[in-house]
Amino acid sequence: MPPWECQLFFDDRLATVLRQRATGEAGLRTQFRQLLDLLGKNRVQRAGDIDHSLIAAAWLRMDALAQDIPAPERAQMIREAGWRFRNPNLALHLADHEPEVSAAALNRADLVSEDCNALIPRLPVRARGFLRNRRDLPLDVIALLERLGVHDRGLPSPDPTPISADTPPPAAFRARADNDAAPVAPSLITPLPRPRDRDDTARTEISALVERIAQFRRERTDVRADFERASPRLPLDEMPERNARVATSFGFAADSSGRINWASSEVAAMVIGTRLFAAARLGAPAAEDGRLARAYARRQPINRTPISLMGAPAITGDWIIDAEPRFAEDGHFSGYFGRCRRVPANTEAPDSAEAREADRIRQLLHELRTPITAVQGYAEVIQQQLFGPAPHEYRALAAAIAADAARILAGFEELDRLARLESHAMAIDMGEADLAALVRRTTGQISPVLQPRGAGFAVGFADTAALMVVVDPDDAEALIWRLLASLAAACGEGEHLALRLDPLIGGQRALAQLTCTLPARLAREDNLFAATTRGANSAINAGLFGTGFALRLARAEARSCHGGLVRSGDDLVLTLPLLTAADPLSSLTAEHAYANQV
């Protein structure tokens, strides 16, 4: 592949990853893995004319993701096989992270001798020791580490020379791998008196050994904290025993008798050998065992079935099982594979009809995503010519298919979000957001698209107005965009929609109220939240399922954060909880929150 095509491929992929908005734990981990894969390739450092601002943005995004992903999980991702780690700049960047992440990166990196020699002087002193632990280093790299004072961890070999007054002081033992090797100060080493007899000589040698061990321990104290989390320790009264991490979900496989024979690595030792159902299993309700036993006997899928596990503290408690039957190549039943999810504290198992219906919708969406994701992947392969050159006409068609697949997947995400919100399986996070600023910013983005039609928004509050609401800023911005974009998509020629913002103080709750004039096309609808209106302008649309669905999703989001979205005549009224001085989330005073209200 020509070098310019390599660079375009990398730029396109990296820019695509950076444009994505990672939400949820799975999205954060996926984007971190994508950045590792792209930044770990050696062509990143060899492309002389590469967009350095794009690389800088990638480093910043990786650091931002590191704030939300625990260090052990990031270290596990780095240690995973199946991706190339040949970029010394990535190793240098990860060396500044937590000790376990730094150790994983420097042990996983596949660098040539020249890259290692250039990298080592730039590494933090602590990180050089992680690199020294490798046993596949070239001789010139080992020599460089020796010159820098980075040695193996452990006590040096004792000097066999008898200690006497004529013998020079013992040499300083080697420093730990993550400290500069500095010889012991001469003032700390004093000549020993000449032994008078055999017993005195033995005691003198023992005293010297004790002093060497004590010095080693003193130097080790400075870095012991860095290795507490990276190295497992036995509770031998040296350090307090760490609290066990409680598992929240794990994958498993069970044989035909219902006994777990495989599980995710973090809980494997705790659950392998456990029976999912057994008449004599202690602590298991009869109805619970009955559901599992019937599913096993009939070879049926196991959907949202409750179960109680007993054993280690990390797994003890109530769980929900989802699993599918497995069959061997000859057709014989071989067991189940699935996932266990812990039941949230202080809640019952989600067994209501509404919750089951929402769960079925999510399972259906999951089944639909699989083929669409495959189509999107093959289209991107053709468009980016990963398997060889393709005609421009085919690449254009593939790009259009990939874009359509992305829109369909975005629509599925909206369906899944609505199902979760309406079944109370998820809720909007609380936070602090300026509703007035969000409305101004959103209308400023939409207005240029409406201007050619002589349409737009008539904002009825001052540019300096501020109204704080108790909603996460990202969720609040998505809600305001969905609401105003849906109205703008139905806006006709020369039509201007009035926006008014008011605080509602008094009664049981303080609310912020945003009133929007409905476009004429939507004002004629009897049921606004079931409208099938679609905008003619492709630059702004209400989503894959039309205006009614978008407004219904906005209503569910508003209700989830203790607000609402209702129709009042020819107006659409959004209410969100107002931030007050009494609110525990508030870092402002009431005067500041209401200083510039309408």
Question: How do residues 142-184 score in pLDDT, each as one tens digit?
Answer: 888 888 777 654 444 444 444 444 444 443 333 333 444 333 3
Higher-pLDDT residue of 488 and 221 is: 488
Q: Say yes or no: 35 and 66 in one domain.
A: yes
- Which amino acid is located at 263 in the chain? A
Q: Say yes or no: 438 and 587 in one domain.
A: yes
Q: Say yes or no: 332 and 439 in one domain.
A: no
Domain that holds residue 546: 433-593
Question: Phi/psi at 500 (nearest 5 deg)?
Answer: -135, 140
Residue 484 included in any domain: yes
Match 């000549």 to its residue by tokens.
Answer: 191
Residue 59 pLDDT > 70, yes or no?
Answer: yes
Q: Say yes or no: 307 and 395 in one domain.
A: no
Q: Grade residue 336 by pLDDT with cuts at 50, 70 and 90.
A: very high
Q: Grade residue 7 by pLDDT with cuts at 50, 70 and 90.
A: very low
Percentage of the chain beyond pLDDT 70 is: 72
| Chosen domain end from 396, 422, 448 | 422
Helix, strand, or coil (residue 80): coil
Q: Cα separation of 531 and 523, whole Å?
A: 10
Residue 191 included in any domain: no
Check the CA dihedral 579-583-585-590 and report its sign: positive
> How wide is the angle at C-alpha 298 spanned by C-alphas 296 and 302, nearest 5°?
55
How many domains does the structure of the chain reveal?
A: 4
Residue 213 included in any domain: no
Higher-pLDDT residue of 208 and 278 is: 208
Please answer whether residues 329 and 386 qualify as being in contact, where contact means their C-beta atoms are separated by less than 8 angstroms.
no
CB atoms within 10 A of CB 83: 15
Residue 513 included in any domain: yes
Q: Say yes or no: 487 and 562 in one domain.
A: yes
Q: How many Cα atoms are found within 13 Å in the side-chain-facing hemisphere of 201?
A: 10
Average of pLDDT values for 37-53? 66
Higher-pLDDT residue of 466 and 222 is: 466
Residue 236 included in any domain: no
Please answer whether residues 594 and 586 qualify as being in contact, where contact means their C-beta atoms are separated by less than 8 angstroms.
no
The pLDDT value recorded for residue 555 is 93
> How wide is the angle at C-alpha 576 spanned by C-alphas 571 and 578, nearest 5°?
125
> How wide is the angle at C-alpha 542 spanned by C-alphas 546 and 403, nearest 5°?
95
Helix, strand, or coil (residue 514): strand
Q: Grade residue 507 by pLDDT with cuts at 50, 70 and 90.
A: low
Q: Say yes or no: 50 and 138 in one domain.
A: yes
The pLDDT value recorded for residue 252 is 93
Q: Say yes or no: 372 and 346 in one domain.
A: no
Q: Cα separation of 533 and 546, whole Å?
A: 6
Average of pLDDT values for 346-361? 61
Residue 153 included in any domain: no
Q: Say yes or no: 346 and 376 in one domain.
A: no
Residue 242 included in any domain: no
HEC sequence for 466-497: CCEECCCHHHHHHHHHHHHHHHHHCCCCCCEE
Residue 202 included in any domain: no
Q: Which spans in 98-250 are helix H?
A: 99-108, 113-119, 125-132, 139-147, 198-221, 224-227
Q: Say yes or no: 498 and 412 in one domain.
A: no
Cβ partners under 8 Å of residue 453, min gap 6: 491, 492, 493, 494, 537
| Chosen domain end from 306, 328, 350 | 350
Q: Say yes or no: 379 and 341 in one domain.
A: no
Least confident stretch, 241-245, 418-422, 451-455: 241-245
Out of 39-53, 78-92, 553-567, give the one with best mean pLDDT.
553-567
| Chosen domain end from 112, 130, 147 | 147
Q: Say yes or no: 407 and 450 in one domain.
A: no
| 362-408 confidence digits (pLDDT tens) | 777 878 888 888 898 889 889 888 888 889 999 999 999 999 998 89
Domain at 278, CATH number: 3.30.450.20
The pLDDT value recorded for residue 349 is 45
Q: Say yes or no: 401 and 528 in one domain.
A: no
Residue 88 pLDDT > 80, yes or no?
Answer: yes
> How wide is the angle at C-alpha 420 spanned by C-alphas 416 and 423, nearest 5°?
135
Count of residues in the chain: 598
Could you tell me the pTM of the whole model?
0.43
CA 101 to chain centre: 15
